[in-house]
Amino acid sequence: MSTDPLQLARPDLRGFAGYRSARSEALRGEVWLNANEAAWANSADRDGLARRYPQPQPRDLRVALAGLYDVEPEQLLIGRGSDEGIDLLVRAFCVPGSDAVLVTPPVFGMYAVSARLQGAGVVDVPLQDATDDFRVDLQQVAARAEGEGAKLVFLCSPGNPAGGVIPRDAVLRLAQQLQGRALVVVDEAYIEFADAPSLATDVGLQRNLIVLRTLSKAHALAAARIGCVIADAHVIALLQRCQAPYPVPAPCAALALGALQPASLAQTRDHVETIRQERGRLGTALAALPAVHRVYPSQGNFLLVRCFDAEAAFRALLAAGVVVRDQRAAPQLGDALRISIGTPEENDRMIAALRVAGAPLRHDFVSGEAMSRPSGTPAGEAA
C-alpha cells in the first residue's frame, strides 16, 4: 500500500499546475509593470503600499510560523483561518459525488459544510457521551472510514464544543491504520489551552496526518484570519496550487508577524495561563448553580454547559448583556450552551446573570471536578 498521500488526491488534480500569479515569479526589479496594479496609491493608503499585491505565502511569516510549530516551512501553508484549509483539503481530495469526509458530531460545522459544497458525502460517527466526558470511538471511525470511502477524517482536538482531547498515540494508530485509504486531519485550534502536546511535529513521520493551527484563538488575531495547514510537503504544494491568488492580505501578515515576536508571545503565554485558571474557577462555579446540571471538563477556552432550562438561561444572559453560544440545535446538545472564557470581570458578570436564570424544583447535586448533575439523572440527559 502506497504511503504517498498524493495518491489520495483527486486524479484530475495530481498534475494540476494551478494559477501562477504575478507575485509567484521570483523576479527582481524597480519598476513593476507586470500585475496591472494601480500606478498611484489611494489617498486613504498612508503608507502607499496597498496598491501592490501581497506575496501569496509571505516568506517571513511562513518561517516564523514554522518556527512556532516546530516544522519546516515547506510543511506549512498559510490561509484565511482554518476554514480555508478545510475547504482546500476537501476540494483537493474529494471527487464530487464519489468521495466522502468523516466527522464526529457534535463538532465544528465547517467540515460538513465544506464537504456538502464540494458534493462530497458526510459520514457521521457521533461522539459518545460517557459518564465523565464526550469521547471519540476511534475503532468505529476507522471501520466507517474504510467501509464508506471517506477520504478525509476530521478530528477536533480539543473538541469544539465538547472540549476533550484525543490522545496522541491513538491518533497516530488511526492514521497508520488508514494509511493509503484516508487522510487524518486534526484541528488543533485550541491546543494552546490544553495539557496535551500538538501533533504538528508528527506530520513528518506519518505522511497521511494533517494538522490545522490558527492564530485566531490563543493569539487573539481572529480578525486577521491567519490559519495554517501543516502536512507532508507534497500535500502542501498541491493545496497551494488549488489556493486562490494572494490569500494573505499584507496588513494581516504584518500583524501576525508582530504577534510572533518574543514580547508578544510572552504576553500570549500569560493570557493563556489566565484562561486556564479561569476555566477551572468557572467550571466549579457553574457546577454549583441551581440552573446548571452538568459542566463538561474542557481543554479549550470554553465550557460546554447543560442547563435545566437552556432557553431561560440563554435569555437571562442576554438580558444581562452576555452573549454565549446556543448549542441546542447540535446533535445530543438540546439543553446546552457553550460559554467562552472571558476576562475575570466578564466571567463574574456571566456567573451573576446565570444565578437569576431560574432553578429546577430539585437540585440535589452530585458534584465533581467541573461537573454536576442531579442524582439519578443519566449523564448527558436533561432532568
Predicted confidence at residue 192, as pLDDT, reads 98
Q: Would residue 96 be called left, alpha or beta, if left means φ above 0 and alpha means ψ between -120 and 50 degrees?
A: beta
Residue with cell 511569516: 61
CATH of 5-260, one of 3.60.10.10, 3.40.50.1820, 3.40.640.10, 3.40.50.300: 3.40.640.10
Predicted pLDDT at 15: 84
Tell me what the mean pLDDT of segment 322-327 comes to: 97
Q: Which fold would CATH assign to domain 265-374?
A: Aspartate Aminotransferase, domain 1 (3.90.1150)
DSSP 244: P
Query: Is residue 358 very low, low, confident or very high in pLDDT (cuts 50, 70, 90)?
Result: low
- Cα angle 280, 224, 230 (rounded to 5 degrees) comes to 75
Largest pairwise CA distance in the chain: 77
Q: Which residues pair with 213 in a beta bridge?
A: 228
Domain with CATH 3.90.1150.10 in the chain: 265-374
- Looking at the chain, the domain(s) classified CATH 3.40.640.10 span 5-260
pLDDT confidence band for 209 (50 / 70 / 90): very high
Q: Whole-angstrom Cα distance, residue 34 to residue 21?
A: 10
| pLDDT (0 to 100) of residue 360 | 56
Residue 102: strand pairing partners: 123, 153
The DSSP letter of residue 133 is: S
- CB-based contacts of 162: which residues, under 8 Å, 6+ apart? 106, 107, 127, 133, 134, 296, 298, 304
pLDDT band at 16 (very low <50, low <70, confident <90, very high): confident
Beta strands in 111-160 (DSSP E): 121-124, 128-129, 134-135, 150-156
